[in-house]
Amino acid sequence: MKRSQITAYLPWQLWDFAVDRGIAILFTGGLMGMSIVLPGHMVLTEHQQLSPEALTLELFKAVVAQTVSIFVVIAASGIVANDRVSGSYRFLFSKPVRQPVYYALQFAITLLGVLIAGLILLSIFWVLVGWASPVVPLIMITVSYLALGGPIFFFSTFTRFDWALLVVLWGGSAIARTVFSDSSWYQVAQWILPPVHHIDKLRGALFADTPVDVGGVVWLIGYGMLFFLAGLVMLERKAIAE
């Protein structure tokens, strides 16, 4: 796939993301945001003496903590699987297009799309609730996308249940860490299971403005990118219709 093809096709991929996923993310984000902000505002103003700035920040933290991962899963799921299931790969890949390059671009465009969707939702928050720095949510979207999107991308190359497998993998990891953290087997398994806890640690450090565990972030992103690369290898070696 030549650079001219890539640059000319990128706007169309971004447009497809906006129509197919962006609207869903905005809709979900709007509903979730309201369901967090409205009761949160009532509880915090009733029981705690917070300044308006502190109140906004507390609500902002709650919204970011509860929505980012969901946006990322909505955005990244089905990147390959949707084409495989619908059969729309047939026309796409009768053109002089390499499948790994096409889907790597789609993966990158999806990150750009979810960042733009995040900014739109942030601007709604700014108008309705108050100002909060966009830096933390944009970093969290990027890191979460790379960490969670990588495994979804990999699963998407062979099953339509990519998001469900991710939920099992990350949910299983979180449960194992909570329940079996003292077990000897978990001391080994923790190096294989996704480092779920580093997402919360990173968000906490960024909001508290304390030093970030760089090694943990690298592990988190590296874990996701290993799956992403495995997905590209799958696309290169495995026939798409099989």
Residue 92 near another protein by CB under 8 A: yes
Q: Which of 127, 135, 208, 241 binds another protein (CB under 8 A)?
A: 241
The least distance separating another protein from the CB of residue 154, rounded to whole angstroms, comes to 20
Residues shown for the chain: 242
Contact of 111 with 117, CB cutoff 8 Å = no
Apex 146 CA angle, 200 and 7, nearest 5: 150
- CB atoms inside a 10 Å sphere around CB 212: 15
Give which of 72, 69, 41, 67 is closest to 55, Cα–Cα. Answer: 41
Q: Which of 46, 49, 91, 185 binds another protein (CB under 8 A)?
A: 91
Q: Which of 3, 46, 49, 95 binds another protein (CB under 8 A)?
A: 95
Q: Which of 35, 66, 86, 187 binds another protein (CB under 8 A)?
A: 86
Q: With contacts defined by CB under 8 A, name the span among 41-49, 89-97, 133-141, 193-201 that binds another protein.
A: 89-97
Residue 97 near another protein by CB under 8 A: yes
Give me the amino acid identity at 19: V
**Distance between CA 75 and CA 21 in Å, rounded?**
6
Q: Which of 31, 42, 98, 133 binds another protein (CB under 8 A)?
A: 98
Helices 135-156 + 162-180 axis angle, to 10: 110
Residue 20 near another protein by CB under 8 A: yes
Question: Quick one: tokens of 91?
Answer: 């026309």
Q: With contacts defined by CB under 8 A, name the span among 4-12, 106-114, 133-141, 213-221 that binds another protein.
A: 4-12
Residue 183 near another protein by CB under 8 A: no
Residue 214 near another protein by CB under 8 A: no
Q: What is the per-residue burial (b if ≥16 Cβ within 10 Å, else e) of 75-104? A: bbbbbbbebbeeeebeeeeeeebebbbbbb
If the CB atoms of residues 155 and 223 are measured against another protein, the closer one turns out to be 155
Residue 16 near another protein by CB under 8 A: yes
Binding-site ranges for another protein (CB under 8 A): 1-2, 4-5, 8-9, 12, 16, 19-20, 86-99, 239-242
